[in-house]
Structure 1
Amino acid sequence: MAIEIFCRKEQKYLITRNQYEQLVEQIGPRMRNDKNGTDGRYTVTSLYFDNPDRTIYFETKNKLKYRQKLRLRVYDEATPESTAFFEVKQKHNKVVNKRRMLLPLKEAYRYLSADTDSDLSQYDTTNYQVLKEIDYFRKYYELQPEMIVSYNRHALHGVDNVDLRMTFDFDLRCRREDLMLEHGPYGDYFIDEDLVVLEVKVEHSVPLWLARILQSLECEQRSASKFCTSTELLKGVVTPQVVREKTTIGGMEDATDQQLVFI
């Protein structure tokens, strides 16, 4: 059964495919492919939510100490009968907390199209409490389906450290039209096709051996919000001037550059 509630720290990097190939080779003795997919490789397609004021976008882009997102996700090819993951992703002081439930994709659509006062107990889900939290979050922010983000992923776990997880995301695409997840992973590229988003996910800190490999390959740690970058590409959002990390993945400091990101 998939973990439905968990907490961890995440570090993000933007690397080239050449760096990816070297990195995978060097970490090989200490990491193993994820059991999901084929040799740890699978496709991720996510439906993200926001409101007309773009509250979720601005909270994420401005790096509020506490921020959260709502997304509905499927893996590989999906049908309305496939299992979907409905998830609230919260971040506080660089610690990520995820609360998610599993349900048939058609049940998720039924919930999204229902009256706001519908009885939540009628839905077929693995975690009723998480559904209540999702429902409260969605109503409080008046969230609606906003865009689909998709990518191909290669996931690995530590051989001796089960809490260490690394994911490499390729071919990152987004779209605003056709918000049906079962229609698959397609859309406009929002990051140069030669680049890979690496996430290192740990319970406490990155192991010294891995930190040394990342440093030797000059893998630069960067803020990398797929949701923000997609929003900027699709909607041309201009972010208010705020104090935040120097390097972002979503274009220039004022978010006026909606071109693909290159390094």
Structure 2
Amino acid sequence: MAIPATTISAYAPCTFRHELKHQVNHAEARVLSARLALLFGRDAHAGPDGTYRITSLYFDTPYDEALRQKIEGIDRREKFRLRYYGGAPSFVKLEKKIKQGGLCSKRSARLTLSEARRIIEGDTAFLIESDDPLKVELYSKMRGKLLAPRIATVYDREAYTYAPGNCRITIDRNLRRATPEHFLDAAFSLPVNDGIVVVEVKYDAFLPDIVRMAVQIPNRRHAAYSKYAVCRKFG
């Protein structure tokens, strides 16, 4: 089947945001969590304990292009993933994450659970019939670059927001991994146990001083961390 001339030009312009990551231990994360709770509002989607679960299924080529680009620090790179929140999703998001020069942007499209299952099973013909350019792009790259589901990541997120600068601070714990066929049933996930808690700070044009000071941990600097790359070490 011919692929229509849907290209990146069919998209609206990207909106890029700053993204800083810090790796801390569990004790440091507890201190940081208590501090953030006093200063900022919690994410509205959090459960009673202030967290929610995120499950993502990452795609890569047979030559691990996305993984290699991350490890080699390529300036401009992209990753495709399916993602849902909580334990019993009613829908799944298709996302394309773009990183360029330390900035990040994300495009997304909604999928039904049935559509997500079809993609995982390699039944992608329906994507070409979509009027959403992201779905067509995924089809194109699954056909042209043999992009395919590789591994699922599962973790618990604690999130805070601050309106000035459109800031979002997240603390991600308990990283687990799962095979693609278990993406929609993360009860089959296995712990990674790398002992790392990931703190992310995302903001638009400026980072307010109150946020900058709140996330400071002695002797810790921002550093790259990829949940996908870490989980790929185990499968």
Q: Paired residues, what number? A: 221
Give RMSD over aligned pairs: 2.4
Question: Against the structure 1 CA distance between its residues 135 and 170, is the aligned structure 2 distance closer, same or farther, given a 3 Å change threshold?
Answer: same
Equivalent residue for 2:110, pick from 94, 102, 113 = 102
Q: Residue in 2 aligned with 1:239?
A: none
In 2: Cα distance, 1:211 partner to 1:31 partner: 13
TM superposition shift of 1:45: 0.9
Cα gap change, 1:89 to 1:101, in 2 (>3 Å): same
Letter in structure 1 aligned against 2:21: K
Distance 1:138 1:161, change over 3 A: farther
TM-score (norm 2): 0.83
Contact 1:78 1:184 in 2 (8 A): no
Work out the CA distance in 2 between the residues paired with 1:206 and 1:61: 27
**Does the C-alpha gap of structure 1 residues 116 and 72 become closer, same or farther in structure 2, counting only changes over 3 Å?**
closer
Q: Which residue of 1 aligns with 2:88?
A: 78
Give the letter aligned to residue 75 of structure 1.
Y
Alpha-carbon deviation of 1:145? 1.1
DSSP-derived class of the 2:184 partner: helix
Structure 2 segments unaligned to the other structure (5+ residues):
1-13
Q: Which one is further off, 30-39 or 58-67?
A: 30-39
Q: 1:61 to 1:41 in 2, by over 3 A?
A: same
Deviation at 1:198, TM superposition (A): 0.7
C-alpha distance after superposition, 1:207-256 (max 9, x if no partner): 2223233335443312101111111232xxxxxxxxxxxxxxxxxxxxxx
1:47·1:149 contact (CA, 8 Å) conserved in 2?
Answer: yes
What TM-score, normalized to structure 1?
0.75
Contact 2:66 2:78 in 1 (8 A): yes
SS at match of 1:108: helix
Unaligned runs of 5+ residues in structure 1 are 235-263
Residues 75-154 of structure 1 aligned to structure 2 (within 5 Å)? 75-78=85-88, 82-113=90-121, 118=126, 120-121=128-129, 128-154=132-158
**Alpha carbons 1:83, 1:103 under 8 Å: kept:** yes
Matches of 1:37 and 1:209, distance apart in 2? 23
Checking the alignment, whether the CA contact within 8 Å between 1:173 and 1:186 is kept in structure 2 is no
User: Which protein has greater RCO, CA pairs closer than 8 Å, 6+ apart?
Assistant: 2
1:1-263 to 2 correspondence within 5 Å?
6-39=15-48, 40-78=50-88, 82-113=90-121, 118=126, 120-121=128-129, 128-158=132-162, 160-161=163-164, 163-176=166-179, 179-193=181-195, 195-234=196-235
Q: Distance in 2 between matches of 1:119 and 1:48?
A: 18
| Residues 165 and 204 in structure 2, CA contact (< 8 A), matched pair in contact too | no
The answer to whether the 8 Å contact 2:165/2:205 transfers is no
Tell me which amino acid in the other structure corresponds to 2:95: E
Q: 1:183 corresponds to which letter in structure 2?
A: D
- What do residues 38-94 of structure 1 show as CA deviations (whole Å, max 9, x unaligned)? 154111111111122111110111110111111111111125xx2101111110101
Q: 1:46 to 1:216 in 2, by over 3 A?
A: closer
Three-state SS of the structure 2 residue aligned to 1:179 is helix
Q: Percent identity?
A: 25
- In 2, distance between residues paired with 1:114 and 1:148? 16
1-structure distance, mates of 2:19, 2:79 = 15
Q: Counterpart of 1:67 in structure 2: which amino acid?
A: R
Distance 1:119 1:66 in 2: 26
> Do 1:65 and 1:93's aligned partners in 2 also have CA atoms closer than 8 Å?
yes
Deviation of residue 191 (structure 1)? 4.1
